[in-house]
Amino acid sequence: MKPVVLVTRKLPDAVEDRLRREYEPILNPDDTLYTSDQIIERAKGADAILPCHTEKFTAEVIARLPESVRVIANYSVGYDHVDTEAATARGLIVTNTPEVLSDATAELTIMLMLGAARRASEGEQLVRSRQWKDWSPSFMVGTQMTGKRLGIIGFGRVGRVVARRARGFDMQIHYHNRKRVPTEFEEGAVYHETCEQLMPHCDFLTIHCVASPETTKLLNAERIALLPDGAIVVNAARGVVIDDEALIAALKSGKLAAAGLDVYNDEPDIHPQYRKLPNVFLMPHIGSATKETRDAMGFRALDNLDAFFAGREPRDRVA
């Protein structure tokens, strides 16, 4: 018999076709956002669950999962929505989908940088609402990216691709990481041992670290104060790394010129002030939203399931 896999969201057609060939999937054709109770109910008889970051596997949820469930193969690179300690204690294998998102997320990061710097949200609204009247030397003046200093927090796969793309704008790369990366990965980037040491060197700051207790509210009022006046902040990692009140205050005061955000605390119920600020370029968590990447994420999750059910160690095991 083929293993039974509960799939919590609607996945790309190519991924669901492979699921049907290799497994007995319980699909979600209407893309309903299941509650925890619904997941537990639908998982009865399932050998595995293939969820997204939208589903929360707390210790309480994991404890209530049917005994038949042996593996959670996430359709995401982040896995902060899963209590990995509870999963390990329960004997559940947990995997993610690293590497395949790097290019798409880096592309979106560059878009956020440009959109924030060149006041894209304001400009688009002016055109759509017919409030654009004429041209003048002082009209819609933004910030130029070319030749500026880019600070990157989290110099892993995504951070390094962002650095590579930013060099096309002749940007000078500075970074902070938990530890310094090998010289061949730096490609001339300047390492800073702490966030505090990095901040004064950032005309632009992008964040690409994982969500964890250590990175929660990593960008707070004290660190924002260390940034140059008029700096631009971009976040395409996880919402929890930013202290919303501190960022909003800096955007209102003019300490920061702008921000570009793709992720938020409590999304999609984001802090209401973000919607009111003209100097924030907002995207709806679409860092991985290209056809190529979404297919690759699904195939990577299925590769992990294939390995598990073949008795091999999954390539991307995180618990």
Q: Which residues are catalytic?
A: 238, 267, 285
* SS3 labels along 63-80: HHCCCCCCEEECCCCCCC
**CA–CA gap between residue 293 and residue 28 (Å, rounded):** 20
Helix ranges (DSSP H) in the chain:
13-22, 36-42, 59-64, 84-90, 102-117, 120-128, 157-166, 183-186, 195-198, 221-226, 244-253, 272-276, 291-309
Contact of 176 with 201, CB cutoff 8 Å: no
Contact of 94 with 84, CB cutoff 8 Å: yes
Beta strands 4-7 and 48-50: pairing type?
parallel
User: Angle at the Cα of 126 (from 120 to 127), degrees rounded to 5?
Assistant: 90
DSSP class per residue in 232-291: EEEE-S-GGGB-HHHHHHHHHHTSEEEEEES--TTTTS--HHHHH-TTEEE--S-TT-SH
**CA–CA gap between residue 236 and residue 116 (Å, rounded):** 13
